[in-house]
Structure formats: C-alpha cells, structure tokens
Amino acid sequence: MTAVIDNTSPAPAMVPLLSDLSSVSGRRRNKNMVMTVLMGVSVVVVGFVLLLVLITVVRKGWSIVVSEFPKWFTKDIQLSPRRAGPGMKAAIVGTIVATATATVIAVPLGIAGAIYLNEYGKRSAFARTLRFLTNVMAGVPSIVMGLFIYVFWVVPRGVDGLNAFSGALALACLMLPIVVRSTEEMLRLVPQNLRDASLALGATASRTTLTVVIPKAAPGIISGSLLAIARAAGETAPLIFTVGAAKATNWNPFSGTNTSLSLQIYANAKESFPTAQERAWGAALTLIALAFLFTFGARALSGRLSRTTES
Amino acid sequence: MTEKVHTMHEPADESVDSAARSTGGVAAPANKLIFSVNDLSVDYGAFTAVRDVTLGIYANDITAFIGPSGCGKSTVLRCFNRMNDTIKSAKVHGSILYHDIDLYGPTISATQVRRHIGMVFQKPNPFPKSIYDNVAYGPRLAGLKNKSELDELVETSLRGAALWDEVKDRLKSSALGLSGGQQQRLCIGRALAVKPDVILMDEPCSALDPIATARIEDLMQEIKQQYTIIIVTHNMQQAARVSDRTAFFTTEVNSESDRRTGVLVEYGRTDSIFSQPVDDRTEQYVTGRFG
Ligand SMILES: Nc1ncnc2c1ncn2[C@@H]1O[C@H](COP(=O)(O)OP(=O)(O)O)[C@@H](O)[C@H]1O
Ligand SMILES: [Mg+2]
C-alpha cells in the first residue's frame, strides 16, 4: 500500500514575527487618516446643506402657517396671490388625494411586477425585457411623464381630463419603476433556503411566495414603496399639465380640477408679491412636514412589522 | 430491530442490494422495498452531475449516502422528493419508483410527492415565524384549520423531534431564537408534522456541534421505527454509527469534458461496506486514504 498522506514531515514554520502583528506601515496609516478626514468633511458638508435648507424653510414659512392658526389647514387658498393671509387646505388635500391615488395604482402593480420578475420570470427573455423597460422608465424625466399623460389621457378628455386622477396617473408612472426595482431587490435578498423549506413541505410556488417570501421581504418592500410615495408627493412637473389649477378644496380625484402643495410652491414663488412669497414658503414647510410625518409613521409601522416576523 | 414482516421474496432485493455480492454470514431479513431507483442520471445544463445510479431503498432503514464532495449525493437525494424541479437547468433521466409509482410520471404532482417525502436541509432553515407556526405550516397547507387538532399535531411532532420539553413554554416565540441544534430538530419536527413516509436529510448535522449532532443521531434512531430515512453525510463515522445501509458515491473523470461526473460505486449493508468493501475505491475512502 502506498501512503497518500505523509504525516511525518514537519510543518513549515508559519509563526509570524511579533513585529508583523503590531506595526502598521506608515503609508497605510497616512492613507487611513486622509480617508477619515475626507469622510468627516463630506458628512459635515452634507449635514450643513441639509440643515441650512431646513432652517431657511422653517424660518420663512413658520409665520404664515401659525398666524391665525389653524386657518392655514382649514381655509382654501386666497383667490388673488396679492392678498395676504393663510389658507392652504386645497393644496394639502390635493397632494394627499393625488399621492394616495397614485399609490393605490403603482404600489400593488409594482409589487406584482417584481414578484413576477424575481419568483417566476427570473432570467427568461420576457423578464429581461421587462426589467430593461423598467430601468428605462426610471430614467424618464418626470416632466416627460406629465406630458405623456397630458397627450394621451388629458387631451382626449378635454377640460374634464384635468383632475387629481390624471395627475395620479403621471405620478404612478414615476413611482412604478421605483417600486418594482426596490421590491425585486428585497425579494432577491430572501434566502433560497426558506423557499426550499416551504416547497419541501408540499407548498406550491404561489403559496410559498405569499406565506414565506413576501412576509420576509415586507419591511424592505414597505420602505421601498415609502420612498416612491415620498418622491411622488413632492413632484411638481407631472402635475403641471394634468390636475389644473384649483384654489378650492376638492376631495374627488375623478372630477374637477385640483392643486397640490408643490404646484402652490411653484405658482406662488413665481409671483413678486411678498404675500405670495410667504405662501410659497409656508407650502414648502407644510410639504416637508407632511413628508416627514409620513416617513416617520411608516417607519414605525414597518419596524413593528419586522419585529413581529423576526422575533 | 423491528423488521417489517417480509411479505414475499422481492426479486429486486438481491439484484439491487450489494450488487451481486454476498452480504456475509446469515442474510438479515430485508425490509420492504420502498424506492427503486433505475439508471438515474441528472444533468445541470450540458453537465452530467451524476449518472447511472441504480439502487433500492428499504422501509424503516436508515440509508446513508457517502462520498467526496461534489459526487452528486445531494443531487441524487433531491430527486427523491423532486426538489430538483426547482432548479431550471436540472434534468432527471431514468426513473424512481416509489411503491411502484414512477415519481417522475406525467400525472405526478411534485407538491404531493413532497407531502409524502419530507426533507431536512444542511443548514437549519426555520421560517422567521413562531415555533408553533413553523410546525403548523405543513398541516395548514394541507388544509387543517381546527385549533385543537393543530395543537395536538404540533405537540406530537415536537415530541417526535425531541424538542417539546425545551420549547413547550415558548411556542409563540420566534423560531430564530433557538440554538442551531434546536432549530434543526424543529425542522425535523416540521417535516414530521406533514406525516410523511420518508425523510430525506442532506448533511443535517454539518452545521452543528458534536452534542447537537449526537441528539439528532439519537433522534434518527427513534424515528426510524415509523419512517424511512435517507441521509447524506460526508462524515463516515456518522454513516457507520447511524445507518443500516450505505451507498458510496465517487466522481469519475468524463471522457468528453474535464468536469467530473458522480457515480455509485458500491451499495450494501453498512457493516459490510465498512468492514469488507468490494471495490478498491470504497476501501480507500472508508479507511480514510482518499477524499
Ligand atoms: N444547481 C446547480 N447547478 C449546476 N450545477 C450544480 C448545481 N448543484 C450542484 N451542481 C453540481 O453537481 C455536482 C454534484 O453536486 P452535489 O450533488 O451538490 O454534490 P455533493 O452533495 O455530493 O457534494 C457538483 O459538481 C456541483 O457543482
Ligand atoms: Mg451536498
């Protein structure tokens, strides 16, 4: 018999010198220091810009929002931009209605699309085409989305086409690729061995998706969708041609012109009157606060959700 | 050993078991043949991972698949419950008869097959759900809704997996809070809850420490009274300790490509595979001079 492994030969000396363990070369130390400083500087710069924006908006927008409180939230917009005083209810409602409608359209569609791509289509030619189109769609400027909906949806309907729903369609086009991409990413992160566990117990692929994959990916899917919603809520361009220019509150997405906070910022900031300028700042503050509240609430929700599934 | 009554002489027994080789001494009564694998080959795309496997699996036996890594043990194991269906590129040739039914027959549903033939994976993979919901997952799939029946089934399954006493006070807490060994026993209990006939185990102890491994091995001895177990292991001591029969696989160099294809070298009673192997490659492997 021939011995395959020779255990008797001594192992080569592999003991490192102690100096190897303790000394970091000068070049590496310098590199480390430069990088640390660079990163520190960028954090400060970014933080500073962010803080500057926030402070400016709060400082300039605060007075109109709180003066004669709560009129800012309960009264419609002044008919003449020249007139002083609060009233932004129409825009707050318009933003909520258009964004909510867009969410109802884009989020389920986007999640369904992502489930198809990751769980069924995978690397098939159709799935690859779909993925490519989604990426293209993500790159389309928002004003082009607005124009697209204007030409193909609003114009054929004439004046009746100007409503929150038309705006929501444009916003949904904007949200859809964000939702699809972030959801697919989250589904991809679900370990294959969880799917295997479910399949091995006799579950069908669709049952596995519903009871194992989606619950596991839910926190990520939710935060991706939130990002899309927050993005849509602040968009102006897709709404310019699609919702009209109302000053009165309209809760109905399907009929009657509407407005939004972003449109009001745009319209009022264009005016030279200080009254309108102040209104624009107030609308900006409201939009930021709304987005903040929304993100915060949703974070808490998805946090609770992930806690119940993880522990 | 509780050997099932040997109903009739089964022709497949002699020919499949120990390929024309005496098992040595008095022939032990063989259990009922439950699977008969005929000329099984599996391709991944153009690559043949394992070819020409022919063997029989007997009821209430623990059958071990051993061999160097990459020789296709997992691939063959996953054919028994059609888990290879989930891999797009995988193509299975040949047949596996389960109680005389061709598992790959045109009318056979993979999901139904998996309810009869459960699987435990290499890495414990509990769902991120409660311990209770993990075990109840399979029965719920099958449509069981009755709370008290579910409770009872969860308890018997967890008892069957030797986990009940450790978790009975925290059934509602997350399965992810269990230790690795407990998680693997939970996965066994989860498989038992479906009331399968056969349990496939793919290196179930390779992620566990020796104590947890010993518990799983004990557990296997207990549940083999009611189940047929096929276990893949690259630990020869484990195969020798727990199994009744052992199949040794290895790889052979392909003539047409430089990739290696797995083949079944030798199959027979574990004691004879380890004490008097027929094939040189088996001898080299079990004596630790190869692989
Ligand atoms: N999903 C897969 N796709 C392609 N090749 C695979 C896949 N799974 C396994 N293989 C290949 O098949 C061969 C056998 O693998 P496997 O059955 O996992 O071996 P073992 O379990 O004995 O280590 C290996 O060469 C491996 O690379
Ligand atoms: Mg393997």
pLDDT band for position A308 (50/70/90)?
low
Q: What is the pLDDT of residue B207?
A: 85
pTM, entire model:
0.81
**Does residue B37 have a pLDDT over 60?**
yes
- Rounded mean pLDDT, A25-31: 85
Q: Which residues of A touch B125 (CB under 8 A)?
A: 191, 193-194, 196-197
Higher model confidence: residue B26 or residue B201? B201
Report yes or no on B93 lying in a domain. Answer: yes
**What is the rounded distance in angstroms from the CA atom of residue B154 to the CA atom of residue B150?**
6
Per-residue pLDDT tens over the stretch A151-163: 999 999 998 999 9
**Does residue B35 have a pLDDT over 70?**
yes
Q: Most A CBs within 10 Å: which of B79, B80, B86, as the mutation test of the A interface?
A: B86
Determine whether the interchain pair A311/B83 forms a contact, defined as Cβ–Cβ distance below 8 Å.
no
DSSP string, A144-169: HHHHHHIIIIIGGGGGGG-SHHHHHH
Closest CA to B18 of B282, B288, B291, B221: B282
**Does residue B28 have a pLDDT over 80?**
no
**Does residue A81 have a pLDDT over 80?**
yes
Determine whether the interchain pair B142/A202 forms a contact, defined as Cβ–Cβ distance below 8 Å.
yes
As a whole number of Å, the CA-based R_g of chain A is 27
Q: What is the pLDDT of residue A184?
A: 95
Q: Whose CA is nearest to atom 1 of ligand 1?
A: B87
Q: What is the pLDDT of residue A103?
A: 96
pLDDT band for position B8 (50/70/90)?
very low
**Does residue A305 have a pLDDT over 60?**
yes
What domain count does chain B have? 1
Per-residue pLDDT tens over the stretch B80-115: 999 999 898 999 999 999 998 999 999 999 999 999
**Does residue B249 have a pLDDT over 90?**
yes
Report yes or no on B134 lying in a domain. Answer: no
Report yes or no on B252 lying in a domain. Answer: yes
| CA distance between the termini of chain B | 33
Closest CA to A220 of A178, A187, A174: A187
Report yes or no on B158 lying in a domain. Answer: no
**Does residue A207 have a pLDDT over 50?**
yes
Q: Do B90 and B272 form a contact (C-beta atoms < 8 A)?
A: no
pLDDT band for position A24 (50/70/90)?
low
**What percent of chain B stands above pLDDT 90?**
62
pLDDT band for position B286 (50/70/90)?
confident
Q: Which ligand is nearest to the CA of B260?
A: 1
Q: Which residues of B60-89 are buried (b: 16+ CB within 10 A; e: fewer)?
A: bbbbbbbbbebbbbbbbbbbbbbbbbbeee
Report yes or no on B81 lying in a domain. Answer: yes
pLDDT band for position B22 (50/70/90)?
very low
**Does residue A10 have a pLDDT over 60?**
no
* Burial environment of residue A9 by CB neighbours within 10 A (0 to 12, 13 to 18, 19 or more): exposed
Q: What is the pLDDT of residue B234?
A: 83
The amino acid sitting at A232 is A
Report yes or no on B256 lying in a domain. Answer: yes
Report yes or no on B88 lying in a domain. Answer: yes
Q: What superfamily in CATH does domain A71-310 come from?
A: MetI-like (1.10.3720.10)
Structural domain boundaries of chain A? Answer: 24-67, 71-310
Q: Which CATH number characterizes residue B206's domain? A: 3.40.50.300
Q: Which residues of B touch A198 (CB under 8 A)?
A: 127, 137
- The CA A19 to ligand 2 mean position distance, Å, reads 43
Domain that holds residue B243: 11-17+33-123+198-286
